Amino acid sequence: MDVAELKRRLAAVWFADIVGFTRLSAQDESRALRLVGLLQETASREIDRHGGTLVKFMGDGVLAYARSTASAIDTALALSEKFHDRCAADGRPFFLRIGVHLGDIVVSLDGDVYGDGVNVASRLHDEAEPGRVVVSEDVWRQSRQRTELQFAPLGRRVVKGLDEPLWLYEVAPAHEVPLQDGQTDTAIKKPEESRSLAILPFEVVGRSEEATFLAAGLHNDVLTGLSKIPALTVISRTSVMGYRDTHKPIPQIARELNVDTIIEGTVQSAGTRVRLSVQLIDGRQDIHLWAEYYDREVSTDNLFAIQTDLTQRIVESLHTQLAPRQVAQSGGPSTGSLDAYRLAVQGRMQFDLKTETGFLQAIDLFQKAIGLDPGFGLAWVGLADSLALMEDYGYGESEMLLSRADQAVRRALEIVPDSAEAHTSLGLLLLINQDGTGGIREFEHAIQLQPGYADAHTWHCWLSLLLGRGDVALKSAERAVELNPVSAEAVSNLAHSYLAIGKPEKALVEARKARELSPSYTTAGFYEGLALYDVGRFAEARSILAPLSVPVTGELTVPWAGRGPDATLALAHAGSGDRDGARAILAEIDAVDYPFAVGLVNAALGEIERAFDAFRRVDEMSAWPTLAIHHHYRTVWQLLRDDPRFENLRAVAYRSWRIDPHAG
C-alpha cells in the first residue's frame, strides 16, 4: 500500500466487546450468534446517530472512531446502556466493556484504521469493569468540563502491550456514579470536609538526575504550601519519606499515618520539560478521586506555578472552607535561578541524612546556591539549619558553628521575614543559647505562619517543658505527633509531656512506642525508665536504665541528659530498698562535673545537707536538671520543699533560661 494514499488524522477511537462471550459460545452457540447480531445492530445505529464512523466488527467486538471525544463518549455510553437493556429484556443481561482513546490514526483506502490510537483503544477496554466505559487521560482532558458527565480516576495503570503506564478514568452520565476497581454496587464516596492528608514522595520515572531533583523539590514545595493552611493536617516530610519506594497498600499507609487522604505522583524529565502526574486517593477506601497532569518547560516560574495550582486543586477537592489568601502563595518563586534551586534541593537531601558528612555536604551545597543567588532566602535557611543541627549533633566546633548559623538565619529573615522555617531556625538557636523567652516567641511565630510545620511544634513542646509548662507542652506534643506520627522524637516528647502533667502510665505507652519506632533512640529508653520509676515499678526501671548507665557503656548514652540516667537508676535502687546499690552508682558520678545529679541521689537517700552542699555548686542548669526540677522525682523534692534553699535551686532553673517565674 502506498503511504501517500493513506489519510492520517487525530481521532477519538473506541473499542467494545461483550463480557463473557467466550464462555457463552462454548455453552450456547446459537445464543452467542444472536448476541453478536444484537451488538452489531445497536452499535451501527448509535454510531450513525452520534456522527461516528464504524470501522469493523470483529467477532464479539466493534471498532469505531469519531472526530471528537464528545461524539465517541456519547456513542460509547449509549451503546453500553442500550445493549444491556435489550439483553435484559430477553431475560439474560449481558454487558459490554468499552475503551476510548484520543490519538493518531491512519485510514486506509478500504476504510480500515491503524496507528497508536487504535492500539491503545484496543487495550483500554480490558481495564473496564462490565458495563463500564474507560477513557485515557487525553480523552478526559478534552471532556472534563462537560457538566453532564462525571469521571472517576482509576489511577496510573500498566496496560498490557504498552511501554508506559497510563492514567485512566471511568466515565458515566452525571446522574450516575461510576464504579471503580472491582466495585459492583457501592457508590464512590468523596471525603466530606477531609482534613488530613499525606503526600507520598513523588516517584521518578526513568533515571534522570534532573527528574530526581525536580521530584524532591516539587514534593517539598507542595507539602510546605499545604502545611500553611490551618484547616489541614498535612503529615510532615520526615514521616512520609519513610514510604519512598514502598509497596504497602494505600489503606495500610493511611492507617499508619492516621489520614483520610493520600496524594501520590510521578515526575519525568524530558529534555527541557518536566511532566508531573498527581492523583488524590481516598485512603480509607482506596478509591482514586482525581488526577492532575502538568507538562511544562523547566523554570522556577513554572515550578512555582505548578506548586500553587496543585495546592489550590487539592484544597478544593477536599471541600475545605478556606479564604483564597490562605491558599495562594504570595510573591513568587523563592529564586529566579534554576541552578540555585537545584543546589538547594540537593542540599536539603543531604541535610536529611543527619550525618556529619551529610551536614558538611549540605553546607557546601547551600553556600553554592547562595553564591548563585544571594537573595535566595530558603538557601540561607538551609545553611542555618545545617550549621545549627551539626552543632546540636556534636560535630565540629560549637561556637563557630552557632555564630555562622546565627548570621545565616538573620540574613534569611531579612529576605523572607514570613518564613516559618527561618523563624524556627532562629528559635532553635535561641534555645541552644538558653533564651527561653526568645525561643518561645520564634516558635509561636513560626506556628502562626505555618500551622502544619511539625518541627516548630516539636521544638515548641521541648522548650515549653524546659520552662515548666507541661500543659502547654502536651498540646504541642499532640499536634507534633499528629503531623509527624513516625518520628521517635515527636512521640518521645509526647511521653515526656505526660510525665510532666503527672500521667506516667500514658507516658510509658508513648515511650515504648518511640522505642519501637527507633530502637537506638536512647532518649526514649530514658523516658521509659522515668515512667517506670514514677509508677513505682523499680525493678523494671532498673532493667531499662542499667544499659544506659556510664559504668556499663563507658560513655554518656543520652548526651543532653548528662548523668541523668545514672541518677535515675540510683533512685530506682533506693526506691526498691537497695541503698548500697544507689551508693555504688553515686560513687561513680563526678561531683564537680555533675553536682545536680549528686545532690539528687543524696536527697533520695535522705542525706539532706549533703544534697544541698551539692546543689550549692549548681550555678546554671542545662536541659536535664531543668526538666528534673520542674517535672520529675516528685517524691524526692517533697523532702526538700519546705527548705528555703530549695527555692534558691528553682530560681537557678528560671534564671538559666531567662524566664520570670511570675510572668503570665
- What are the extents of the domains in the chain? 3-173, 196-327, 550-664
Position 478 scores a pLDDT of 97
Q: List the grid coordinates of 620.
A: 546554671
Rounded mean pLDDT of 572-594? 97
Confidence of residue 663 (pLDDT cuts 50, 70, 90): low
Asked whether residue 583 carries a pLDDT value surpassing 60, the answer given is yes
Q: Which three cell numbers stand for residue 261?
A: 487522604
How confident is the model at residue 129, as a pLDDT? 82
Q: At residue 319, what is the residue type?
A: H
Predicted pLDDT of residue 326: 46
Residue 427 has what pLDDT? 96
- Is residue 189 over pLDDT 90? no
CATH code for residues 196-327:
3.40.50.10610
Cα Dmax for the chain: 109
Say what the pLDDT of residue 621 is.
97
Given a cut of 90, whether residue 65 has pLDDT beyond it is yes
What CA–CA distance (Å, rounded) separates 496 from 462? Answer: 9
Residue 558's φ and ψ, nearest 5 degrees, are -125, 80
User: What is the model's pLDDT at position 319?
Assistant: 55
Query: Does 430 have pLDDT greater than 60?
Result: yes
Half-sphere exposure of 152 (CA within 13 A, CB side): 26
CA distance 84 to 66: 22
Q: What pLDDT was estimated at residue 188?
A: 33
Residue 450: is its pLDDT beyond 70? yes
| Cα 340–chain centre separation | 25
**pLDDT tens sequence across 200-224:** 999 998 778 888 989 999 999 999 9
Grid cell of 133 as nine digits: 466505559
355-409: pLDDT as tens digits: 999 999 999 999 999 999 999 999 999 999 999 989 988 898 999 999 999 999 9
Q: What is the pLDDT of residue 470?
A: 96
Mean pLDDT of 619-645: 96
- Helices and strands, number each (H, E), in the chain: 30, 14
Topology (CATH level 3) of domain 3-173: Alpha-Beta Plaits (3.30.70)
Beta strands per DSSP E along 94-189: 96-107, 113-114, 133-136, 149-157, 166-173
Other Cβ atoms less than 10 A from the Cβ of 537: the count is 19
Neighbours of 636 (CB within 10 A): 21
pLDDT 10s digits, 80-95: 999 988 888 776 778 8
Does an H or E element contain 587, and which?
A: helix 579-587
Percent of the chain with pLDDT over 70: 93
Q: What integer best gives the mean pLDDT of the chain? A: 89
For residues 456-481, average pLDDT = 97
Amino acid at 85: D
- Give the pLDDT confidence score for residue 309 in this predicted structure: 85
For the chain, give percent helix, strand, coil, nearest 5: 55, 15, 30
pLDDT at 328: 43
In this structure, are strands 61-66 and 7-18 parallel, antiparallel, or unpaired? Answer: antiparallel
- Give the pLDDT of residue 176: 59
Taking alpha carbons only, the member of 608, 617, 627, 602 closest to residue 648 is 617
Task: Give me the pLDDT at residue 3, please.
Answer: 47
Q: Express each pLDDT in 294-335 by its tens digit.
A: 888 989 888 888 888 888 888 777 754 443 444 444 445 789
Q: Are 459 and 490 in contact (CB under 8 A)?
A: no
Contact 326, 230 (CB under 8 A): yes
Residue 285 confidence (pLDDT): 81
pLDDT of residue 316: 74
Q: Distances in Å between the alpha carbon of 216 and those of 196, 246, 448, 510?
A: 21, 16, 26, 31
In this model, does residue 434 exceed pLDDT 80? yes
Q: Is the pLDDT of residue 443 over 80?
A: yes
Q: How far apart are CA 32 and CA 275, in angstroms?
A: 46
**CA 132, CA 99: separation in Å to the nearest integer?**
9
Average pLDDT estimate for 602-617: 97
Nearest 10 degrees: Cα torsion 288, 289, 294, 299 = -100
Q: pLDDT grade, residue 514 (50/70/90)? A: very high
pLDDT in tens, 139-159: 988 888 788 888 887 776 777
Q: Mean pLDDT across the stretch 533-552?
A: 96
DSSP summary character for residue 168: E
pLDDT of residue 488 exceeding 80? yes
* Total-model pTM: 0.71
Relative orientation angle of helices 398-415 and 420-432, to the nearest 10 degrees: 150
Of 408, 432, 434, the C-alpha closest to 421 is 408
**pLDDT > 80? residue 562:** yes
